[in-house]
């Protein structure tokens, strides 16, 4: 009898976490690494939020709470939904979890039966299909090409819906593309969904506050009240409030769904951290002025990175409406005659089997340090491409010295391909010595199966 669960055959470990762990290990080994793995702001949690947590500890608010969250936080969330989204919820329609991730997971575990399909617009956040598969469902990706701004088109959605469709997951602004739906784009989607009463909407609004250029955020239940009864609106404090480590996410939805999600949570983690919940009360009820201030910086970084990437030969980078990701196409870099063949022969795949090919995600907007290293950014795509070819010719050491010659400021490069979606992740490494090959160039390209595409 096998020891491990068959469920593990359906799921891959988090690629984002894997690359983040690798960066952490390199840092622990004394390497000067800038990780481009997990998506988190480089800004610190605002002081008033930290203080609220300290006060909670001092006041002895350190015990278990209700599984689905303290009443004060639920009230703060209800206030947020009303104020910012025009959505009205009662406390029994709100759940607080250990990050948005747990909330999404609870919802899928609470509703998916074997064979249920979940439509996931691609490119997608890598955890969606894995969670669906773990819950026993079938992730169905619908490709949203650059020509449609990486956004789901109404006609493509309608084609993907079958009698087995249980959920459609929407994420705006999106991880990994930064694309965000305008009101009219979202209305076209909700108009389709209204026609299919058995299809539920899971909207991941985690990046709601990170929008630029006067973009106005909207969410499906707000645009189409007919969907209110079958929409789960997921949000959290991780991104806009710079609280990724505090692990607080939440959702508003129909009471029977929230109850089922609470049951799942009650048998796994119980309540999210009490102290973090009190901090989240302050986040939602306290001053919000740091959000536009942070956004101003994110926008400046976005504009810089987009313009630099667009100067690189063969790279095209759309300007995202939100989040802190850019999603440049490297299609132009794959066109050299015989290159694909050479790469294949050397065991590299430069295109994914499914999903949106030829794109790399880059989280350049997250870190000031990364921008300070910006001359290297422009190079890295050149280098990465160059390196593949050189690696094919088995001249890794030459690559390292070539890379070092190219570098403006002594940054070297490590590339880790996670190949989910051909999402290539990069680690920039400052070599101990510019003249030596001590900091070896590394490149791993693995390929993992993507969900079926319609």
Ligand X SMILES: Cc1ncc(COP(=O)(O)O)c(C=O)c1O
Instruction: Please count the residues of this chain forming the interface with ligand X, following the rule CB under 6 A.
Output: 13
Residues in 3-42 at the binding interface with ligand X, rule: CB under 6 A = 39
Stretch of residues binding ligand X (CB under 6 A), selected from 98-106, 109-117, 283-291, 306-314: 98-106
The 10 Å CB-count burial string (b at 16+, else e) for 338-365 is: ebeebbeeeebebebeebbbbbbbbbbb
Cα–Cα distance list, 452 to 175, 270, 449 (Å): 20, 34, 9
Single out the residue of 100, 123, 149, 451 in contact with ligand X (rule: CB under 6 A): 100
Cα(454)–Cα(452) distance, integer angstroms: 7
Between 236 and 322, name the residue whose CB sits nearer to ligand X.
236
Among 32, 92, 148, 244, binds ligand X (CB under 6 A): 244
137 vs 249 by CB, closer to ligand X: 249
Q: Does 101 bind ligand X (CB under 6 A)?
A: yes
- Binding characters for ligand X, 323-362, by CB under 6 A (x = yes): ----------------------------------------
Interaction of residue 173 with ligand X, rule CB under 6 A: no
Considering beta carbons, is residue 40 or 439 the nearer one to ligand X? 40
d(CA 417, CA 263): 38
- Residue 179 CA to residue 368 CA, distance in Å, equals 22
For residue 46, CA distances in Å to 286, 295, 369 come to: 10, 14, 20
Residue 330 CB, nearest distance to ligand X (Å)? 22
Pick 149 or 236: Cβ nearer ligand X: 236
Rounded CA separation 373/368 (Å):
9
Burial of 196 (0-12, 13-18, 19+ CB in 10 A): middle
Q: Is residue 178 a contact point for ligand X (CB under 6 A)?
A: no
Q: What is the largest CA-CA distance in the chain?
A: 68
Out of 125, 200, 212, 228, the only residue in the binding site for ligand X (CB under 6 A) is 125
Closer to ligand X by Cβ: residue 111 or 238: 238
Residues β-bridged to residue 165 = 117
Backbone φ, ψ for residue 243 (5° rounding): -130, 40
Site for ligand X contains 99 (CB under 6 A): yes
Q: How far is the CB of 400 from ligand X (least distance, A)?
A: 32
Residues that bind ligand X (CB under 6 A): 39, 99-101, 125, 171, 175, 204, 206, 236, 238, 244, 249
């Amino acid at each position: 009898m096998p020891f491990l669960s068959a469920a593990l055959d359906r799921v891959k470990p988090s690629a984002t976490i894997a690359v983040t762990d690798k960066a952490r290990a390199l840092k622990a080994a004394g390497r000067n690494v800038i990780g481009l793995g997990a998506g988190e702001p480089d800004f610190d949690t605002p002081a008033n939020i930290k203080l609220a947590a300290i006060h909670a500890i001092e006041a002895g608010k350190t015990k278990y709470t209700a599984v689905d969250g303290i009443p004060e936080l639920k009230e703060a969330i209800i206030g947020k939904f009303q104020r910012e989204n025009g959505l009205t919820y009662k406390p029994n329609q709100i759940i607080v979890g250990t990050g948005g991730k747990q909330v999404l997971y609870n919802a899928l575990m609470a509703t998916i039966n074997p064979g249920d399909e979940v439509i996931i617009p691609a490119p997608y956040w890598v955890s969606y299909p894995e969670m669906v598969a773990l819950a026993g469902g079938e992730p169905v990706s619908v490709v949203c090409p650059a020509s449609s701004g990486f956004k789901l088109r109404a006609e493509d959605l309608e084609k993907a819906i079958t009698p087995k469709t249980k959920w459609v997951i929407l994420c705006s602004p999106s991880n990994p593309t930064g694309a965000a739906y305008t009101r009219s784009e979202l209305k076209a989607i909700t108009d389709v969904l209204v026609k299919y009463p058995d299809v539920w909407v899971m909207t991941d609004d985690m990046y709601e506050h990170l929008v630029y250029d006067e973009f106005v955020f909207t969410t499906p239940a707000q645009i189409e009240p007919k969907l209110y009864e079958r929409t789960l609106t997921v949000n959290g404090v991780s991104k806009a409030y710079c609280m990724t480590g505090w692990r607080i996410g939440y959702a508003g939805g129909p009471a029977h769904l929230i109850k089922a999600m609470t049951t799942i949570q009650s048998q796994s983690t119980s309540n999210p951290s009490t102290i973090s919940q009190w901090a989240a009360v302050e986040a939602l009820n306290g001053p919000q002025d740091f959000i536009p201030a942070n956004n101003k910086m994110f926008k400046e970084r976005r504009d810089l990175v987009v313009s630099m990437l667009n100067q690189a030969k063969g790279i095209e980078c759309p300007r995202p409406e939100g989040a802190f990701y850019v999603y440049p196409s490297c299609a132009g870099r794959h066109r050299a005659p015989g290159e694909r063949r050479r790469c294949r022969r050397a065991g590299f795949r430069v295109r994914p089997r499914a999903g949106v090919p030829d794109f790399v995600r880059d989280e350049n907007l997250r870190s000031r340090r990364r921008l300070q290293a910006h001359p290297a950014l422009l190079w890295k795509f050149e280098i990465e491409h160059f390196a593949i070819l050189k690696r094919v010719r088995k001249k890794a050491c030459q690559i390292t010295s070539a890379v070092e010659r190219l570098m403006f400021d002594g940054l070297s490069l490590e590339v880790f391909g996670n190949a989910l979606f051909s999402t290539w992740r990069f680690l920039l490494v400052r070599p101990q010595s510019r003249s030596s090959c001590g900091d070896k160039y590394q490149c791993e390209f693995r390929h993992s199966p993507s969900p079926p595409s319609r």
